[in-house]
Structure 1
Amino acid sequence: MDAAEIIGQLARAEGRVDPYPLYAQAHRLGPVTSFAEDWVLACGYDSVNRVLRNPAFGVDSDELRRARFGDEPIPDSLSLLGASMLQSNPPVHTRMRAPIASVFTPRRVAALEPAVVGVVERLLDGLGGRDSGDGRGVDFMEEFAYQLPVSVISELLGVPEQDRRPFRSQIHDLSRVLEFMSDDSDLTAADAAARELGGYFATLAELRRAEPRDDLVTALVQLVDAEDARLDAAELLGNLALLLLAGFETTTNLLGNGLALLFDHPSVRAALIQGALPVGDFVEEVLRFDSPVQLTSRTALFRGLDVDGVPLPQYGEVVLLIGAANRDPARFHDPDRFDPWRADNQPLSFGAGMHYCLGAMLARLEARTAFTALLRRFPAIAPAQGAQPVRQDRLLLRGYATLPVDLG
């Protein structure tokens, strides 16, 4: 199987359900392979890491799209996220990221721990009362894995609790536009979600402009209104949507993937309960072994670039298989074995370089807190016997749609 065939298989439902055998085939081709005109596939850990850290490779920003395609209309979903840090290159990216990054410093994230503990305990109280006893269990994804991160990021943003219910479906639909080889139906759903979220945050921004509060929406509105205007109105809405998306989609998947791995590895569960395994080491191995983010891409911004000797023309694309890099046998011993005791475990799941995930520390804090409390409260938690888990039909964002559990 060559690189083009691997890409084709990853675009199929079977490849999305279990991409890891395809990643192993990609490794046999080498860390970097050209698979189409102006396209390169990178699966080696060092290769992916170098591209992520190299500012000569940028994201597919609105400016790049206009340079290549002229003034074609941009779909609403791409327009919303295109005004955010996610799809911006320096100097625009630097200008937007700096003020938002101040919210996610180690000191500020550490200060959030009591609030995260409180949310976890409240959700576990509710989880214990939702098992119907009919064998179908309670859906861990709906009742806990989604609720925890959306509560935390909403509190940071300043979103009232009564406004949060639509977010899961809206973000699920908006994130379709980021998926590998999305189709027209994905784009239609993503555009509708972008209009809903953009409208909601525009209204919330006006409320905070009239009545400021100690939250991130107020802080960003003040940046728009400041004399030096470090954000414009479109960038405000794009970054608020991005913070919501990034604030819970990946953490939700991290929690679901981690619990499923505990079910498959009872010795790891026992070690966590007994305190013989640091919960942080467990979380890092979940990130490596079944990453919530499986791939990303970069564009060559200049002529004369190459990826580890494979040439790429200006505006050529590099597909970066993060999930494969995290299982690179040249970087990790026995990479297809789940081993939270492995040394020097540094997965690329949160990226690297200038686009390294701002919320990585917060996601790790939420996961460590969640698994510690979950196993303390429900040490015998197990898969429900009367219902099967369902994977999301996604590749880029890998996780469960449902994960029914018996709390024991």
Structure 2
Amino acid sequence: MELIEPTLFYNTFIYLKSIAKNDWGYNNSFDLIVDENCSRNFELGCQFLTEVINADNQIGYVPRTIFRNQLTTQEKSQYIWNIIQGNNFKYRYSWELSFYDNLADNLINEKYIEQIKDTVKRLPDKASIRFEGLKRYLSIEPNLFVELLQIIIDKNEKQNETIFVQFNIIEDYFEELGNDIDLIKKLYLQQDSIGNHFDLTRKGFSKIIQRDENFLIEYLDNLYLKNENQYYLHEDRYLNVIWESTKIEPILKNIFDFHDKKEAYLGIGEHFYNSFFGNLSQEASIRAKNFLLNYCKENYDSYKKMNLIVDIARHSMKELFEDVLLLFISLTQEIDLFSKIWWRGNGGTVVCGDVNLSDLEASDWRNILSIVEKSDLGIKLIPIKKYLNSQIENALRYADWERKRKFIEDD
């Protein structure tokens, strides 16, 4: 392969990229070409970098292959560093971060610690940073990650900027982030507020609540604030990780106690708190069931709290529905209270085909009645059974009306 004249090639490259219908991969190819030229003639190859910088990096190029293969000696690394520092240009911060990531292990020393911090301080709005390559510098400065997080938090908070960190930073580097749990929590809430992909599987969240279970309250407060324009929060199926904390029940009880102040739930769809109870392990399921039954015992006289329990039993822990119903009627047979609880939900059922919804409603009420009849309370349950039979009769009556209406319309 012959050496390429940098200026001519770069101008041709810019033109070809500008007319390409799909320029994906062009910069990767450019990176390989620059690296190959550096391997043959280092200083000539580096002129490609100078060409990019002089044109203010209009192609949005970030060196990676060349840095990985060429930052192997003190002389080469200093030569390239001087090129980067010679001018301001677009994505210079990304070049610096790539430099730190790809510098040979034997060249890492304390002089780069302040340079890394300086780069992070200069990150522009909407920039992102990953920590994998920086982990090697912890052997020189163990608190580097802590200091970088503080810089990022301050920029986001005080300078009205948005700096993103990698979505799995807490999951992968929880121990390296130090013992300041308040700083870690602050980072989590901040990143969760500005991005939609941060810690999607909540594995980082799990690590935090295992050290400070009160973080669940802080997280939910932040979540409601973030989604204040939504009537309901959407279920987060990964929040079942709360059961990885051995002391989550008192916190969850506190959250349940004040749920109606956070969300005016009307029984339509699934309550957000189902997020805590879906797809649980056997051990977590046992704890969750005990929690819900104990909460029922303590709050059976509150129809709002019972509606929350019943909603979870109907959607996420269906095997618990019968236990909840039987426990409730063993604690009280007050018909007014019983009738305020949405034992079958408070909205229509989504079905396909020619289905009479009132027939389905009657079937639901029959199922509830069959569970009540398993109780040995006898005559104490007469008012409740009478109420259930009336619900069944009303549903059947309306079902007959629907069939007649449909017959007339189809005739």
TM-score grouping bracket, smaller chain normalisation: under 0.3
Higher relative contact order (CA 8 A, sep 6+): 1
Larger strand proportion of the pair: 1
TM-score (normalised: structure 1):
0.23
Q: Which of these two proteins has the greater Rg computed from alpha carbons?
A: 2
